[in-house]
Chain A
Amino acid sequence: MTHDQLIYLFLCLSVMLLSGRLLGEFFRKLRMPLVVGELVAGIILGPTILGHYYPYLTEHIFTTKGNIGLVLQGITSMSVVMLLFAAGMEVELAIIRQQGKTALKASFVGLIIPLVLGFFVGREFYHWFGENNSGNILVFSLFMGTAMAISALPIIARTLMDLNLFKTKIGMIIIAAAMLDDLVGWILFSVVLGMMNTGVGSWGFLYTLGFTVLFTLLMLTGGRFIINKFLPWAKRKLSWPGGILAISLGFAFLGAAFTEKIGIHAIFGAFIVGIAFGDSVHLNEKTRDIIHQFITNIFAPLFFVSIGFKINFVANFDLSITLVVIVLAIVSKLLGAGLGALWGGLKLKEAMAVGFGMNARGAMEIVLGLLALQAGVISEQLFVAIVIMAVVTSVMAGPMLQYLITGEMKVGVSLKEINPLSTDD
């Protein structure tokens, strides 16, 4: 890289981080997730607004061409791998195991309804959703199902906190179900992306599915065992917290490289390594916090701001597609998660509140959408619709909960009152 290119690169990173943070904080003041501000920063500085009037300025801030473009592409790929690693660390196998069959039931209902609805809408309206490169209805339909099924764990945690259900049995069932949904959702998504590489014939599908499941099982058993043996050694021999930070991300990239090599997308390796790492007894709260802060405050903004530079949100905005995606997302998740919560023993209003909490798709939906766009599974119009859906569902969760809680619903209701069986062990 030349001297000038380096200057441009550093300026670009600086603008992305600063604008993302400033707008993120502004939106947080409006009680919206940080990621909304980061997306808006990209939209303002990218081709949608600034680039529309001053294209050369946008091109100077974020270019997709030449060496700088290559470096930026590398940084955003690295960021998304780290994001999935952090998302994996949120999945707690012990919670899923503890809640057992009840969580399985709730997860099944919460997953199957959005998955089936998304799949059928995707299949029936394949051409209507815009041109894509997959050329296959099955891959596209599977993606639509997965996109509807995924949820945002932190927003669910917030929902349960606001409902005073976070530490209760039913709260833990919902958390476990959402974790299970996410795990299955990312496995499915990896299969979808894998099918793009290996073809959609029965062998291609079986090959990808087989490797994905095998990798998951191996990492969550043998991989976890190795990490649990390795971390105490690292704690003793390496400096803290730098050593653990380097090792955790080192393992994440190793997992990413491995899955990319065997034909499953890199993000899946990072996600599963994140689960294995997060499950370790040797990872204390401070270490988790440092990894989390490092990823969500530096690499996540770079990724989310960069989205706005890659897509023109105005040119690719299609009102009808956006409305259909939003309605489909809300209806399918409210039905699925709401019925799951009802089955778990909640009353209608509480179940609706849980439905709205799980309806929030959050940042992970945007990651899913962008990867699908890059893989050629979806069109730019559908990607824009998915981003808007992720923001709308996340933003509406708060006010809807507020309405449901401050209405007739009793706040701070004890678990015994909600479900007399819930104190059973």
Chain B
Amino acid sequence: MTSEVTKAPYPFQRIAVAVAFSPRVEAILAESKRLQDLFKAEMIFIHVGEKNLQQEQYLKHLLHRFGLDAPANQLLWEVGDPVEVIIDKCKELEVDLVVAGALEKESLLKYFLGSVARKLSRRAKCSVLMLREPDILSKPVKRIVVEGSDHPKTVNTVDVAVYVAKQTHADDVTIVQESDVSKMALIRSDVFSDEESEEHKEKIFEDENKRLDDILKCADCGTLKVNVERIDGKPGYVITQYAREQKADLLVLNSPDTKLNLIDRVFPHDIEYALADLPCDLLIVHSRVQELSE
């Protein structure tokens, strides 16, 4: 296991957008324009496929139409496996955020095989924004739900959520602490008396609250309204359900620790609950402070 320090996870100065000639291409570009303006970012549009004069002209026309043809922006036509190409380009160009459109739900087969957006979210070495319902018309980001799990990456994820909330002028950010029921079950056996179980549980909650308080003290929240919610249940699943119930506009999660594979879909990784059925737009924050090499 090696670790290397790279760029900080934010600000989003360089944003890559995966472009395909799908019915949603105009909506994706409209969203890109808003991201460019909100984050004052350079935009890199990546299309993977054989270059075709007609398509190239059409894409340039769209970029011009949405005000995305600034000199600093780039349009890349590449060939190869879309996911591999996009990941390589993001790494090469030190992209901070890669954006892709994604369907709310995919067929079971496609879910297990993986679409481009979902594969990116599982493997990218930078943050990934999956747009569930990209729209030509502007939609304000009002409510952001962010993961508050007991993980070293959470501090960066909360920081990024606060940063995004400020840039998008969101109304509030809710940090969700998921109490893993299976771990709690282990301290409820006859080895512990009821009082001991409660004591241990309280201690765990206290530690988690303290850790979150420390994270929030460091986060530059300013006047932003930040709430904390504790929910019992399976990590990944409960936060996805919560985001859906609260009609959140953006769900922010830690990136997976390792590249996810088929096993992580059969025995779901926490993040797979959100990927299986997107509750809203999904931002997966890659901390980039430590990088695993397996």
Name A residues whose Cβ lies closer than 8 Å to a Cβ of B. 24, 28, 33-35, 89-90, 92-98, 100, 152-155, 157-158, 161, 166-167, 175, 220-221, 278-279, 281, 283-285, 288-289, 292, 296, 362, 421, 423-425
Residues of A within 8 A of B233 (CB): 281, 284-285
B171 at the binding interface (Cβ < 8 Å): no
Can you give 20 contacting A-B residue pairs, CB < 8 Å?
Answer: A24-B190, A34-B190, A90-B186, A92-B182, A94-B182, A94-B235, A157-B186, A158-B191, A161-B187, A166-B187, A281-B237, A284-B233, A285-B184, A292-B185, A421-B1, A423-B152, A425-B152, A425-B257, A425-B290, A425-B292
Q: From known contacts A97-B263, A424-B290, infer whether A288 and B181 are also in contact, taking CB-CB under 8 Å.
A: yes
Smallest Cβ-Cβ distance to B191: which chain A residue: A154
Give Cα A167–Cα B185 distance, bound, in whole angstroms.
13
**Given the complex, which residues of B lie within 8 Å of A289, measured CB to CB?**
185, 188
**Assembly CA distance A285 to B238 (angstroms):** 12
**Closest approach, in angstroms, between the C-beta of B53 and any C-beta of chain A?**
46
Q: Are A28 and B3 in contact (CB under 8 A)?
A: no
Decide: A89 near B200, CB < 8 A? Known: A281-B273, A425-B292: no
Asked whether A154 lies within 8 Å of B189 as measured between CB atoms, the reply is yes
How many residues of B sit at the interface, in one of the four size bands?
35 or more
The answer to whether B268 has its CB under 8 Å from any CB of chain A is yes
Beyond A284-B233, A288-B181, 20 additional pairs, beta carbon < 8 A: A24-B190, A28-B190, A34-B190, A90-B182, A90-B186, A92-B183, A94-B182, A94-B268, A94-B270, A152-B191, A158-B192, A166-B187, A166-B200, A278-B185, A281-B234, A281-B237, A289-B188, A425-B151, A425-B290, A425-B292
What is the interface of chain A mostly: helix, strand, loop, or mixed?
A: helix
Contact with A along B13-43 (1 / 0, CB 8 A): 0000000000000000000000000000000
Contacts of A89 in B (CB 8 A): 185
B 256-290 binary contact with A (CB < 8 Å = 1; else 0): 01100001101111100100000000000000001
Which residue in chain A gives the minimum CB-CB distance to B241? A281
B181 and A283: CB pair below 8 A? Answer: yes
A97, A161, A166: the one contacting B267 at CB < 8 Å is A97
Question: Which residues on B sit within 8 Å (CB–CB) of A285?
Answer: 179, 181, 184-185, 232-233
Task: Decide if B193 is an interface residue (CB 8 Å cutoff).
Answer: yes
Q: How far is the CB of B116 from chain A (nearest CB, A)?
A: 24
The residues of B with any CB-CB pair to A shorter than 8 Å are 1, 3, 150-153, 179, 181-193, 200, 204, 207, 232-235, 237-238, 257-258, 263-264, 266-270, 273, 290, 292
- Cα–Cα, bound, A360→B225 (Å): 49
Chain B proximity of A320: nearest CB distance (Å): 30
Which residue on A lies nearest to B182, using beta carbons? A92
Q: A35 to chain B: which residues have CB within 8 Å?
A: 190
| Chain A residues positioned under 8 Å from B152 (CB to CB) | 423, 425
Which chain A residue lies CB-closest to B287? A425
* Complex Cα gap A292–B185 (Å): 9
| A413 smallest CB distance to B (angstroms) | 14
| A153 and B232 in contact, given A33-B191, A158-B191, A158-B192 (Cβ under 8 angstroms) | no
Interchain nearest-CB distance for B257 vs A (Å) = 4
B186 contacts A94, C-beta separation under 8 Å: no
Return chain A residues, CB-CB under 8 Å to B193: 28
Query: Most B CB atoms within 10 A — which of A175, A220, A283, A285?
Result: A285
